[in-house]
Amino acid sequence: MKIQEADAKKLLLAQGLPVPAYEVARSPAEARAAASRLLHGHGSVGQVVIKAQVLVGGRGKAGGVKLAASDDEAEHVADAILGMTIKGIPVRKVLVAPAADIVKEYYLAAVLDRAARRILLMGSAEGGVEIEQVAQSNPEAIVRIHADPLLGLRDWQAREMAFRLGLGAHLKAAVGVAKGLVKTMLAYDADLVEINPLAVVREGPGGAEERLVCLDAKITLDDSALFRHPDHEALRDPDDEAPADVEARRHDISFIHLDGTIGCMVNGAGLAMTTMDLVKRAGGEPANFLDIGGGAKADRVAAAMKLILDEPKVEAILVNIFGGITRGDEVAHGLIEARSRQKRDVPMVVRIVGTNAEEAARLLEEAHFETAASLDEAAAKAVAAARAARAATGGAA
């Protein structure tokens, strides 16, 4: 789960990292008020920076990061940014902060290195640019240091990172940030904590002092660990999720949208993948991965059917249920119920074996469902039904 810059900064502050003060505004008037406090308040600054809060990178390039020097300008700039759509996402909030007087930008991030089974600290003196770009054009410019799973990032490792980035003049602060990123990662079960740019900025009267600060922040939380941080659920951004994903989560269904035309409803992740393989072997392309989970009742089956049918590309549906805890008759009832509510007439092939399969077969036969005894047969029938449907609508075979 990705979280907004402002929320990520709050987590960084809680872990003691150097993050400049900021406020979040939802309207031009709120942005004006926030800017006014910064421009005229205690320790006032000459300019504020206004930043779009959307969960995509490259906001700067897209025009979502702008400076303003007066209340009027801040309101005007916020109005423009709040009216923007960046990479398809509407901007609903902006962050308002004192504008930094940047000396140099760096990149520093803690990421989960699954292959090494360790947290990896990645740094580069080429900050501000996207790291993928640096990795491609100048891979030697990226410094990589693994934290120890038991001891964490040790002081000498943090110092090594600081020196290799050329941050020797800010050694103490750089060590604090490096260790802080790893600490943040562990504290919140994040799989990415990225600061880009980590910047040396001029502060104080006449810009006489230099300080190292986290100017941008990106944190991705491990979804599977969210139960350990109930308060993080509130940080979820609905704009970041397709409506189908929201529905799937609400019903405890594992659902992944794919590009094919055969909708699949299966219980069990392994069986769902096998089913997709067999659809492909039969010459079709799955429209989704869908695991309705163990012990699914009729209502969950109906919800799964709706998820599948909401994709207009679906030409046929393959239901493959291996009844264990999940009862075949429950699934059959769910399918019958779902079909009665269905607005679109899509051919469906059902294979149900295991617990209460006989009862399921009787129900499905009464309701005139197309059934199959084996998975191979079911896959072949579903693919054939999709072909027939396409031929009937005049599409290419």
Residues that bind ligand GDP (CB under 6 A): 49, 51, 57-60, 65, 99-100, 102, 105, 128, 196-197, 215-216
Tokens of 351: 């294979």
Inter-residue contact 288 to 257 (CB < 8 Å): yes
Cβ 234 to ligand GDP shortest distance, Å: 23
Q: Collapse the DSSP code of 384 into the 3-class scheme (helix H, G, I; strand E, B; otherwise coil) and give the result.
A: helix
Q: Which is nearer to ligand GDP, 215 or 309 (CB)?
A: 215
* Other beta carbons less than 10 A from residue 192's beta carbon: 17
Residue 146 CB, nearest distance to Mn ion (Å)?
Answer: 24
Q: Are 385 and 347 in contact (CB under 8 A)?
A: yes
Residues that bind Mn ion (CB under 5 A): 196, 216
DSSP characters over 19-70: ----EEESSHHHHHHHHHHHHHSTT--S-EEEEE--SSS-TTTTT-EEEESS
> Which is closer to ligand GDP, CB of 28 or CB of 127?
127
Residue nearest to ligand GDP (CB): 60
Question: Do the Cβ atoms of 78 and 31 come closer than 8 Å?
Answer: yes
Among ligand GDP, Mn ion, none, what binds residue 99 when CB lies within 5 to 8 Å by partner kind? ligand GDP
Please tell me which residue in 107, 188, 315, 330 is annotated as part of the active site.
Answer: 107
Nearer to Mn ion, 108 or 317 (CB): 108
Cβ-based nearer residue to ligand GDP, 214 or 264:
214
100 binds, among ligand GDP, Mn ion, none (CB under 5 to 8 A by kind): ligand GDP
Q: What's the chain's length in residues?
A: 397
130 is catalytic: no
CA 273, 364, 353, 329: dihedral to nearest 10 degrees? 100
Burial class (CB in 10 A: 0-12, 13-18, 19+), 231: exposed
Q: Provide the minimum distance between the beta carbon of 354 and Mn ion in the complex, in angstroms, as a whole number.
A: 52
* 30/105 with CB nearer ligand GDP: 105
CA-closest candidate to residue 296, choices 262, 324, 338: 324
| Nearest Cα to Cα of residue 216 among 82, 61, 28 | 61
24 vs 352, which CB is nearer to ligand GDP?
24
188 is catalytic: no
* Nearest distance from C-beta of residue 141 to Mn ion, angstroms: 17
Give the pair of three-digit tokens for residue 169: 């003049």
Shortest Cβ 60–ligand GDP spacing (Å):
3
For residue 58, the minimal CB distance to ligand GDP (Å) is: 5
Q: What is the H or E stretch that residue 213 is in?
A: strand 209-214
| Pick from 242, 244, 282: nearest CA to 262 | 282
Q: Which residue number, 38 or 364, has a Cβ lying nearer to ligand GDP?
A: 38
**Shortest Å, Cβ 94 to ligand GDP:** 12
Residue 128 binds which of ligand GDP, Mn ion, none (CB < 5-8 A, kind-dependent): ligand GDP
Q: Which does 122 bind (CB under 5 to 8 A by kind): ligand GDP, Mn ion, none?
A: none
Tokens representing 246 are 């929201």
175 binds, among Mn ion, ligand GDP, none (CB under 5 to 8 A by kind): none
Which of ligand GDP, Mn ion, none does residue 215 bind to, with CB < 5 to 8 Å depending on kind?
A: ligand GDP
Q: Which does 49 bind (CB under 5 to 8 A by kind): Mn ion, ligand GDP, none?
A: ligand GDP
Name the active-site residue from 73, 194, 315, 330.
194
Q: Decide: residue 171, CB within 10 A, 0-12 exposed, 13-18 middle, 19+ buried.
A: middle
How many angstroms separate the CA atoms of 26 and 47, rounded?
A: 20
Residues annotated as catalytic are 107, 194
